[in-house]
Amino acid sequence: MPEIAPLDMNKISRLIDLAIEEDYGQGDPTSELTVEPGVKSHTRLVAREPLVVCGMDVVREVLKRYDESLELIVVSQDAASISRGDVIAEIYGPLRQMLSAERVALNFLQRLSGVATKTAQYVKEVQGTKAKILDTRKTTPGWRELEKYAVRCGGGMNHRYNLGDGVMLKDNHFAHMGAKHKDELEEFAKKAHQHGGLKFVCIEVDDIETQLPIVLSAAGVDIILLDNMTCPQLRQAVKMRDENPGHKPLLEASGGITLATLRDVAETGVDRISIGAVTHSAVSIDIGLDK
């Protein structure tokens, strides 16, 4: 398994604070009334359905916020595929604080494992093709660092982290320039590559007859986004790119692609497929805190 870029815990510290504040802001009288101070216990985080694990560092940080002595022993590391009934981790320490922390810890773990699991389904579907699965910026507000990490745990790749990460000239921008303005596209790409911190220049195309030849002829374009195209159109775009002398940008399919149509899209020969559903349509996975 390739090395996965880790979470930036500094970026999610405030989110953890907010989650704890909304759940524990007035304390936990139920646990306080039923569990004597100092009682120690041992519980397990158990998968109640097949899943890809994601979020163990977040769970550890949540537990630490409730009590520094709560110890998390990870059994199944992030990105591990496990079965129903498998133990993800064990928790040792004060029972009262353990029970108070349960819901917040599980909310993070279930959501992130849901994104990782859904991503893994898409990644598995394109195995044997050259296509890579990418996420989009369609993330839960405040959760982008977490959800993009979960995509990586599921075997997917990250697209732009934010608007400043890369330049994407979409159809509205392209129409503003004018369909025949190759010079403007090249000037745009040149300026973009001189802009500090940008990782790529991407141009969105929704017409392979009029727009694609212009973009293929424009120097400096790294990625061409093929928006809402049929499989025959995608195959034609791949053929045009492969036959283009010299300049061969990556081709990315996007728009309206489902798990049912994904394999057909991948087999057209595109390099990348961006899927917003891996984040915006992922469902939280069932995980339990058991004795």
Q: Is-contact 139 119, C-beta < 8 A?
A: no
Residue 221 contacts residue 249 (beta carbons within 8 Å): yes
Cβ proximity of 125 and 259 under 8 Å: yes
Closest listed residue to residue 93, CA positions, set 44, 145, 54, 40: 40
261 is in an annotated binding site: no
User: What is the C-alpha to C-alpha distance for residues 93 and 98, in angstroms, rounded to an integer?
Assistant: 7
Using the structure block, give the residue that is written with the tokens 């004018």: 178
The annotation status of 170 as a binding-site residue, yes or no, is: yes
State the sign of the Cα–Cα–Cα–Cα dihedral 90, 96, 97, 99: positive
What spatial distance separates the first Cα and last Cα of the chain, rounded to whole Å? 32
On whether 222 is known to bind a ligand per the annotation, the reply is no
Q: Does 230 appear as a known binding residue?
A: no
Nearest partner of 106 among 33, 183, 54, 168, judged by Cα: 54
Known binder of ligand: residue 136? yes
Q: Is 275 annotated among the ligand-binding residues? A: yes
Strands 287-290 and 40-47: antiparallel
Tokens of 246: 């010299």
* 100 annotated as belonging to a binding site for a ligand: no
255 is in an annotated binding site: yes
The answer to whether residues 263 and 239 touch, using CB atoms and an 8 Å cutoff, is no
Is there a binding annotation on residue 160? yes
Which residues carry out catalysis?
Answer: 103, 138, 170, 204, 227
- Residue 138 is assigned to a ligand binding site: yes
Residues marked as binding?
Answer: 103, 136-138, 160, 170, 204, 227, 254-256, 275-277
Please state the residue numbers annotated as binding site for substrate: 103, 136-138, 160, 170, 204, 227, 254-256, 275-277
